[in-house]
Amino acid sequence: MNKPAELKLDTVPVWMNGKAVVPQGRIGEVFNPATGQVTKRVPFCDAEIVGQAVRAAAAAYPEWRDASILRRARVMQRFLVLLQEHQKEVAGLITQEHGKTLPDAMGSVQRGIEVVEFACGIPQLLKGEHSENVGTGVDTHSVRQPVGVCAGITPFNFPAMVPLWMFPMAIACGNAFILKPSEKVPSASILMARLFKEAGLPDGVFNVVHGDKAAVDAILNHPLVNAVSFVGSTPIAKYIYETCARNGKRVQALGGAKNHAVVLPDADMEFTADALIGAAYGSAGERCMAISAVVAVGSAADPLVKLLEQKARKIVVGPGDRDGVEMGPLVTAQHRDKVASFIEQGKAEGATLVLDGSTPPVKEGFFLGTTLFDHVKPAMEIYKNEIFGPVLIVLRARTLDEAISIVNANPYGNGTAIFTGSGGAARRFESEVQVGMVGINVAIPVPVAFYSFGGWKNSLFGDLHVHGMEGVKFYTRTKATTTRWPRQDTPAPGLDMPTLG
Ligand code: NAD
Ligand 1 atom closest to Cα of 233?
32
Count the domains in the chain: 2
d(CA 432, CA 327): 34
Q: Is residue 429 part of a domain?
A: yes
109 lines ligand 1 (CB under 6 A): no
Domain annotation covers residue 500: no
Does 454 reside within a domain? no
- Taking residues 285-306, report their average pLDDT: 98
Range(s) of the domain holding residue 335: 259-440
Same domain, 93 and 216: yes
Q: How far is CA 113 from CA 212, 330, 487, in A?
A: 27, 25, 52
Kindly give the number of the ligand 1 atom that is closest to the alpha carbon of 183: 11
Give the side-chain half-sphere CA count within 13 A for 361: 19
Let me know if residue 245 belongs to a domain. Answer: yes
Contacts of 416 (CB under 8 A, 6+ apart): 259, 260, 261, 262, 407, 433, 435, 437, 438, 439, 445
Q: Has residue 494 been placed in a domain? A: no
The verdict on 221 and 163 lying in the same domain is yes
Q: Are 432 and 409 in contact (CB under 8 A)?
A: no
The predicted structure's pLDDT at residue 492: 86
Active site includes 288? yes
SS3 of residue 151 by DSSP = strand
Rounded distance between C-alpha atoms, residue 100 and residue 84, angstroms: 20
What does DSSP say about strands 259-263 and 415-419: parallel, antiparallel, or unpaired?
parallel
Which residues are bridge partners to 14 per DSSP?
21
d(CA 361, CA 98): 18
Reported as a single tens digit per residue, the pLDDT across 133-170 is 999 899 999 999 999 999 999 999 999 999 999 999 99
Catalytically annotated residue among 150, 173, 244, 288: 288
Q: Tell whether 384 and 433 lie within a shared domain.
A: yes
**Does the residue 38 lie in any domain?**
yes
Q: Are 113 and 87 in contact (CB under 8 A)?
A: yes
Query: What is the phi/psi pair of residue 478, to 5°?
Result: -85, 135
Report the CATH number at residue 348.
3.40.309.10
CB neighbour class for 303 (10 Å; exposed up to 12, middle 13-18, buried from 19): middle
Nearest CA to ligand 1 atom 34: 256
- 388 Cα nearest atom in ligand 1: 31
Ligand 1: does its nearest atom lie under 6 Å from the Cβ of 254? yes
The pLDDT of residue 4 is above 60: no
- What is the mean pLDDT of the segment spanning 310-320? 98
Q: Write down the pLDDT at residue 1.
A: 39
CA-nearest of 308, 269, 270 to 391 is 308
Q: What is the mean pLDDT of residues 445-451?
A: 97
Do residues 270 and 400 share a domain? yes
Residue 3 predicted with pLDDT over 50? no
Residue 327 per-residue DSSP state = B
Q: Which of 26, 31, 156, 386 to mutate to test the pocket of ligand 1 (most atoms within 8 A of CB)?
A: 156
Asked whether residue 227 falls in the same domain as residue 269, the answer is: no
C-alpha distance from residue 176 to each of 163, 379, 489 (Å)? 14, 46, 47
| Ligand 1 center to 164 CA (angstroms) | 16
Q: Is 94 in the pocket of ligand 1 (CB under 6 A)?
A: no
How far is ligand 1, taken at its centre, from the CA of residue 228, in Å? 14
Average pLDDT on 66-75 reads 98
Q: Count of CB atoms within 10 A of residue 190's CB?
A: 20
How many A from CA of 376 to the centre of ligand 1?
27
Ligand 1 center to 154 CA (angstroms) = 6
Mean pLDDT, to the nearest integer, of 26-47?
98
Position 496 confidence tier, pLDDT thresholds 50, 70, 90: confident
What integer is the mean pLDDT of 385-407?
98
**Does residue 452 carry a pLDDT above 80?**
yes
Q: Tell me which residue has its CA closest to atom 24 in ligand 1.
A: 155
pLDDT at 277: 98
Question: What local confidence, expressed as pLDDT, does residue 501 receive?
Answer: 64
pLDDT in tens, 373-395: 999 999 999 999 999 999 999 99
Q: Considering the domain boundaries, does residue 447 fall inside one?
A: no
Centre of ligand 1 from the C-alpha of residue 288, in Å: 10
User: Side by side, which strands form the sheet with 460-461?
Assistant: 19-21, 14-16, 206-208, 176-180, 149-153, 225-231, 250-254, 460-461
Backbone angles phi, psi at 215, to 5 degrees: -70, -40
Say whether pLDDT at 444 is over 90: yes
* Confidence (pLDDT) at 497: 85
What's the whole-number average pLDDT of the chain? 96
Q: 120 forms bridges with which residues in the sheet?
A: none
Residue 257 Cβ inside 6 Å of ligand 1? The answer reads: yes
Average pLDDT over residues 292-298: 98
> Is the Cβ–Cβ distance between 137 and 487 less than 8 Å?
yes
Q: Could you tell me the distance, in angstroms and rounded to a whole number, from the CA of residue 455 to the centre of ligand 1? A: 15
**What is the model's pLDDT at position 490?**
85
Checking if the pLDDT of 499 tops 90, the result is no
Residues 296 and 395: their CA atoms lie apart, in Å, by 6
- Asked if residues 369 and 359 have their Cβ atoms less than 8 Å apart, the reply is yes
- The answer to whether residue 360 is domain-embedded is yes
| Atom 22, ligand 1: residue with shortest CA distance | 213
Q: How many Å lie between the centroid of ligand 1 and the Cα of residue 410?
A: 20
* Residue 7 confidence class, pLDDT cut points 50, 70, 90: low
Q: What is the CATH number of the domain that holds 51?
A: 3.40.605.10
pLDDT of residue 194: 98
Protein residue closest via CA to atom 21 of ligand 1: 213
Question: Could you report the per-residue pLDDT of 217-229, keeping only the tens digit for each?
Answer: 999 999 999 999 9
Query: Ligand 1: which residue has its CA nearest to atom 36?
Result: 232
Lowest mean pLDDT among 4-13, 152-161, 468-477: 4-13
388 lines ligand 1 (CB under 6 A): yes
CB 389 within 8 A of CB 157: no
